[in-house]
């Protein structure tokens, strides 16, 4: 006790934290050993070893210097408090490391620009991101993607992202499917409006993938998608029938701006159509990208496109519904991109096994195919 009384507050805190770290390490080690023994009992029916009461607490009482100043009846509580202190200290250290990591990443991406005061960061899992969910409002999330075969409902490709943008998830999911199953050329790939982008459309064309996607439609009757482009005349026709011709172009002719000053100045709807100070509506066109989007939109509006897009709700949605209802997979159990990706892949593997088992039980021809090797072995 005399030694403790002579210590400064900082010295005593350092002294106590050493005992706390020892306590935390020993209890974690004991827990892992106990868990390993229990797993051995569960998965090895021949195991006769029983899990004995661990003596780690008594050992700690003898090893920890701080116990010499604590009454015996309070030592169990003291060990619990030391364990909690080490746990909290560890979390604080991880938060500091996460904050430093995020600040360094921000500096790499934005230079010396100040971090906005409203910028939110997650110290528990800095790889995740804040996203607006359909049913649960704003949540700290990951974004999962899967390509599902329409006949067998087997998942053939997956991807996990920390971006709320679905557009950024399509190409990595395709690449994952290609690494597992090889080329996807010739297949029909269906997606909702979230995947509709020029880069995704172009990637599928280059991969010879027949891509169909719903297209987003703006609510405003004066949005760009309400202006019709005439390729032959290279003009836009506004919702009121006025023609917008080329106002300016880049040197490489990749981008053009279209306008009609006279029509806008006399149009009673100009205030609703544009926020430009001069009251003139200008349409900017990226020649290659806008052409890709227009072709894809026309493709989705075709009779074949309408039939194919109907599968968007009937094929992948039940797969995710099964995961949520049968597997109760409503949130991730791990943190960090690598672990979360592995967990989602494992869930998808469970889903595939369930589907394969269902096919096996309901198809005699598939049963014959599965056991064909056994028949050949019997005949050999």
Nearest in space to 98 (alpha carbons), one of 114, 75, 118, 122: 122
Domain count, the chain: 3
Stretch 293-307: mean pLDDT, rounded? 94
pLDDT-derived band at 380 (thresholds 50, 70, 90) equals very low
Q: Flag whether pLDDT at 2 surpasses 60.
A: no
CA 266 to chain centroid, in Å, comes to 49
**Confidence at residue 279, expressed as pLDDT on a 0 to 100 scale:** 92
The last residue of a domain, from among 268, 290, 305 = 305
pLDDT tens string 93-125? 888 887 888 788 788 878 888 887 767 777 778
Task: Say how many CA atoms lie within 13 Å of 208 toward its Cβ.
Answer: 5
**What does the alpha-carbon distance between residue 240 and residue 344 come to, in Å, rounded to a whole number?**
50
pLDDT-derived band at 78 (thresholds 50, 70, 90) equals confident
User: What mean pLDDT, rounded, does the chain reach?
Assistant: 85
Are 332 and 261 found together in one domain?
no
Are 328 and 300 found together in one domain?
no
Taking the CB of residue 204, how many other CB atoms lie within 10 A of it?
24
Are 315 and 174 found together in one domain?
yes
Residues 6+ apart with CB under 8 A from 192: 166, 213, 214, 312
**Does the residue 269 lie in any domain?**
yes
What does DSSP say about strands 137-141 and 129-133: parallel, antiparallel, or unpaired? antiparallel
CA distances from 242 to 218, 239, 265, 314 (A): 20, 8, 12, 42
Q: Flag whether pLDDT at 52 surpasses 70.
A: no
The last residue of a domain, from among 31, 66, 94 = 94
**Does the residue 270 lie in any domain?**
yes
Structural contact between residues 210 and 309, judged by C-beta atoms closer than 8 angstroms:
no
Are 18 and 59 found together in one domain?
yes
pTM for this entry? 0.70
Are 301 and 327 found together in one domain?
no
Q: Flag whether pLDDT at 197 surpasses 90.
A: yes
Taking the CB of residue 164, how many other CB atoms lie within 10 A of it?
16
Q: Flag whether pLDDT at 144 surpasses 90.
A: yes
**Confidence at residue 5, expressed as pLDDT on a 0 to 100 scale:** 66
Are 49 and 159 found together in one domain?
no
Are 7 and 86 found together in one domain?
yes
Are 313 and 167 found together in one domain?
yes
**Does the residue 121 lie in any domain?**
no
**Confidence at residue 307, expressed as pLDDT on a 0 to 100 scale:** 92
**Does the residue 184 lie in any domain?**
yes
**Does the residue 129 lie in any domain?**
no
**Confidence at residue 23, expressed as pLDDT on a 0 to 100 scale:** 84
**Does the residue 114 lie in any domain?**
no
- Which of 39-53, 56-70, 98-112, 183-197 is modeled with the greatest confidence? 183-197
Question: For 39-43, 209-213, 286-290, which range has the lowest pLDDT when averaged over its residues?
Answer: 39-43
Q: Which residue has the higher pLDDT, 3 or 315?
A: 315
The last residue of a domain, from among 287, 305, 323 = 305
Q: Flag whether pLDDT at 217 surpasses 60.
A: yes
Are 197 and 336 found together in one domain?
yes
pLDDT tens string 318-360? 888 888 888 888 888 899 999 999 999 999 999 999 888 877 7
Q: Which domain holds residue 44?
A: 2-94
**Does the residue 291 lie in any domain?**
yes
Are 90 and 21 found together in one domain?
yes
**What does the alpha-carbon distance between residue 159 and residue 357 come to, in Å, rounded to a whole number?**
24
Q: Could you tell me the two tokens for 45?
A: 């029916």
Are 315 and 298 found together in one domain?
no
Are 89 and 11 found together in one domain?
yes
**Does the residue 118 lie in any domain?**
no
């Amino acid at each position: 006790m005399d030694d403790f009384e002579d210590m400064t507050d900082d010295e005593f805190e350092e002294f106590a934290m050493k005992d706390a770290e020892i306590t935390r390490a020993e209890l974690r080690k004991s827990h892992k050993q106990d868990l390993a023994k229990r797993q051995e009992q569960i998965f090895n029916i021949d195991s006769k070893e029983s899990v004995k009461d661990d003596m780690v607490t008594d050992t700690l009482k003898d090893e920890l210097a701080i116990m010499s100043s604590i009454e015996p009846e309070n030592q169990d509580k003291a060990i619990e408090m030391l364990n909690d202190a080490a746990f909290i200290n560890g979390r604080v250290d991880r938060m500091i490391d996460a904050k430093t990591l995020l600040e360094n990443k921000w500096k790499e991406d934005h230079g010396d620009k100040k971090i906005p005061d409203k910028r939110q960061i997650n110290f528990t899992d800095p790889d995740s991101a804040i996203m607006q969910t359909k049913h649960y409002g704003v949540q700290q999330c990951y974004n999962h993607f899967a390509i599902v075969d329409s006949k067998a409902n087997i998942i053939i490709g997956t991807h996990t992202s920390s971006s709320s943008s679905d557009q950024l998830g399509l190409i990595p999911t395709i690449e994952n499917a290609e690494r597992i199953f090889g080329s996807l050329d010739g297949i029909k790939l269906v997606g909702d409006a979230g995947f509709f982008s020029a880069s995704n459309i172009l990637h599928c064309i280059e991969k010879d993938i027949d891509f169909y996607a719903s297209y987003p439609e703006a609510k405003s009757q004066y949005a760009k998608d309400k202006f019709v482009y005439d390729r032959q005349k290279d003009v836009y026709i506004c919702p009121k029938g006025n023609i917008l011709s080329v106002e300016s172009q880049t040197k490489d002719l990749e981008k053009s701006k279209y306008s009609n000053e006279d029509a806008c100045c006399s149009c009673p709807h100009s205030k609703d159509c544009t926020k430009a100070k001069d009251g003139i509506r200008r349409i900017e066109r990226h020649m290659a990208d806008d052409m890709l989007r227009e072709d894809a939109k026309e493709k989705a509006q075709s009779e074949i496109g309408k039939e194919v897009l109907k599968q968007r709700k009937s094929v992948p949605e039940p797969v995710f519904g099964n995961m949520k209802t049968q597997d109760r997979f409503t949130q991730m159990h791990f943190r960090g991109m690598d672990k979360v990706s592995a967990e989602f892949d494992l869930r998808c593997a469970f889903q595939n096994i369930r589907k394969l088992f269902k096919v096996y039980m309901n198809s005699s021809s598939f049963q014959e195919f599965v056991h064909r090797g056994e028949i050949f072995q019997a005949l050999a």
